[in-house]
Structure 1
Amino acid sequence: MSLHAQTHRLMAPDIAAMKRVKPIVALTSYHAHTAAIADKYCDLLIVGDSLGMVMHGFETTVPVTLDMMIVHGRAVVRGARRALVVVDMPFGSYEESPSVAFRNAARVMKETDCGAVKLEGGRRMAETTRYLVDRGIPVMGHIGLTPQSINVLGGFKTQGRTRDEWPAIEADALALSDAGAFAVVLEAMSAPLAARITEQVPIPTIGIGASSHCDGQVLVMEDMLGLSPRVPKFVKKFGAVATAIEDAIRAYAEEVGARRFPGTEHTYAMKDEPRDLAAVTKKPKKLST
């Protein structure tokens, strides 16, 4: 007889049901130990292809590979116990056709055991979204600023700041909802447009730089922790991790340089000899003549 896990891991329908019920708390995560911490407070953990910039030093998310996403996705799933884990499909892994998208998304689901995947793009991804959902793969959409399209957009530019841009972006959100996406990320979008879309679509909107009108919020974890050197305007730093890390490394280097670390309490003594490290390392006295 199989044993069910004591903690229920949230699934895509659970997140969808939170719309207008409670704000959805989400963060990105790329490794097991941060996932374990965030899991205590988050409903949703997104293994974003932003890991290419945050973890690997790329200038954009475009160079990220499917294998990279799978390695990090697997780590986050191992670290989390309750939150729904969503893994980004990287550039080039889903745009060619719905069948190619399914093959790659199925691999991500099987090899990471995540609960959903995320695709960038609105109406152009509606057919693919429907294709995946019909075959058992939950899909989160992503519209507004889509970082994988940065070379077409001409940079990381806020979307929907003029009203003539609104109809196309609204149509993107509605198309993804109609295609079966369980939620949609709104990135770097004007607040009035984000509020309007949130009211229009029956699925949760997850904002990142799209105002508190959204049904939930997500930030890149390293950005909000104060670990990233440069962050977008919409990021609030909730910590000063970079400073804490530098202080710790400086103290470590000073103690190593002064031979204060490691101390006796950090070493292994012989079982039948005293732990007095000073006595062991003490130079023998010269014999008098």
Structure 2
Amino acid sequence: MSATARKQAPNAEDIRARKGGEPLVSLTAYTTPMAQFMDAHCDFVLVGDSVGMVLHGLKSTLSVTMEMMILHGQAVARGLSSAMMVIDMPFASYEEGPQQAFRNAARLMAETGAGAVKLEGGVEMAETIRFLVKRGIPVMAHIGLTPQSINTLGGYKVQGRDAQADSVLADAKAVTDAGAFSVVLEKVPQTLADQITAEIAIPTIGIGASADCDGQILVVDDMLGFFTAFKPKFVKRYADLGEQAESAIAEYAADVRARSFPAAEHVFADTTPAKGNKK
């Protein structure tokens, strides 16, 4: 997309207004080049705390820090002009209470230029969401499987089956009433995701939920095949770039060892080339 054809990036109210309309498209991003690739195609881009596992080799998102989120948020911001940027609040940056959450959310937005923050939790986070929204910080909620709570949830399990359904539905209604402009539903059964989408007034963003959510999000390294430590059931691989990268690296290594790279076209002559000769 040319610079003259670029649309203005949406804000939180624009995203909220898309409820029931054309599905919202989102991916995670952690670097400038990846943000540039998705800018023209996504409505919003999430700087996810999944960066800890995807780029830093951490076993979970629990060790991700504010400094890491700010660093990657600043990188992603440099690659966006058409998509809104949302940034995750990392573990232990908001759970203590509304005041702690405000200080850290304000810092994230001020230092990265993000248009909103995302935090995990439902009923128990409603007071914090309300506090932030009243002070000018748009909040995207995240319920169902909340990766920052895997130690209390017993792992990366589907949330909302059977007797749990009422609890997840209550979470959805609580974050809506508190002022969140949208809510991510992660690993929620399809029927429950459809019910939540029908019953709340803000867009639902599915990840392992339902095609009838108001939008979808995936971790970009999952859908491109870069991150291969495990593959969640809800991920569709649109490419296998990890395999291609490994194959290219192996070919490069073989060329170097065979002294076939660099070839003549990759090195510089001893004499100054004639004018117009770029070799």
How far, CA to CA, are the matches of 1:213 and 1:152 in structure 2?
29
Deviations 1:45-104, CA, capped at 9 Å, x for gaps: 111111111111111110100100010111111111111111000000001110110000
Paired letter, 1:227: F
Q: Offset at 1:147?
A: 0.4
Separation in 2 of the partners of 1:106 and 1:201?
A: 27
Q: List alignment gaps of at least 5 residues for structure 1.
A: 275-289
- Aligned AA (1:207): G
| Structure 2 letter corresponding to 1:157 | K
Task: Tell me the residue number matched to 2:8.
Answer: 8
Q: Partner of 1:84 in structure 2?
A: 84
Note if 1:201 corresponds to 2:219: no
1:138 matched residue in structure 2: 138
Deviations 1:100-128 (A, max 9, x none): 10000000001100110000000111111
Which AA in structure 2 matches 1:161?
R
- C-alpha deviation, 1:6, in angstroms: 6.5
Map 1:185-200 → 2, pairs under 5 A:
185-200=184-199
Q: Secondary structure at the match of 1:35?
A: helix
Partners of 2:6 and 2:82 within 8 A in 1: no
Q: Distance in 2 between matches of 1:214 and 1:183?
A: 11
Q: Residue 123 of structure 2 aligns with which residue?
A: 123
Tell me the TM-score normalised to structure 1 length.
0.90
Using the alignment, how far apart are the partners of 2:132 and 2:245 within structure 1?
A: 42
Q: Does 1:66 align with 2:58?
A: no
Matched-pair contact (CA < 8 Å) for 2:207–2:216: yes
50-59 vs 187-196, which deviates more?
50-59
SS at match of 1:42: coil
- Secondary structure of 2:60 counterpart: coil
Matched ranges for 1:112-191 at <5 A: 112-162=112-162, 164-191=163-190
Contact 2:47 2:76 in 1 (8 A): yes
Q: C-alpha offsets along residues 137-159 of structure 1, whole Å, 9 cap, x if unaligned?
A: 11000000000000111100101
- TM-score normalised by structure 2 residue count: 0.93
Q: Distance in 2 between matches of 1:93 and 1:47?
A: 15
Query: Helix, strand or coil for the counterpart of 2:141?
Result: strand
Aligned residues with identical type, % of pairs: 55
* Partner SS, residue 37 of structure 1: helix
CA distance in 2, matches of 1:193, 1:6: 37
Q: How many equivalent pairs are there?
A: 269
Q: What value does the CA root-mean-square deviation take over the aligned residues?
A: 1.4
- Superposed displacement of residue 263, structure 1: 2.1
Alpha-carbon separation, structure 1, partners of 2:7 and 2:273: 48
For 2:110 and 2:7, the matched residues in 1 are separated by 21
Q: Does residue 42 of structure 1 match 2:37?
A: no
Query: Once the two structures are superposed, what CA deviation does each residue of 1:180-237 show, in whole Å capped at 9, x if it has no partner?
Result: 1000000000000000000011100000000112110001111111122211111111
Q: Which amino acid aligns with 2:66?
A: L
1:218 aligns with 217
In structure 2, what residue type is equivalent to 1:181? A
Q: Measure the CA separation in 1 of the matches of 2:269 and 2:133.
A: 60
Hey, what's the Cα distance between the residues in 2 that align with 1:170 and 1:6?
38
Give the equivalent residue in structure 1 for 2:241: 241
Give the Cα–Cα distance (whole angstroms) in 2 for the partners of residues 64 and 192 of structure 1: 33
CA distance in structure 2 between the partners assigned to 1:46 and 1:273 by the alignment: 48
Q: Secondary structure at 1:79's aligned position in 2?
A: coil
Q: Output the CA distance in 1 between the equivalents of 2:13 and 2:265.
A: 51
Task: Tell me if 1:111 matches 2:111.
Answer: yes
For 2:225, the aligned partner's letter is: G
- For 2:78, what is the secondary structure of its paired residue? helix
Deviates more, 1:257-266 or 1:233-242: 257-266
Letter in 2 for 1:81: S
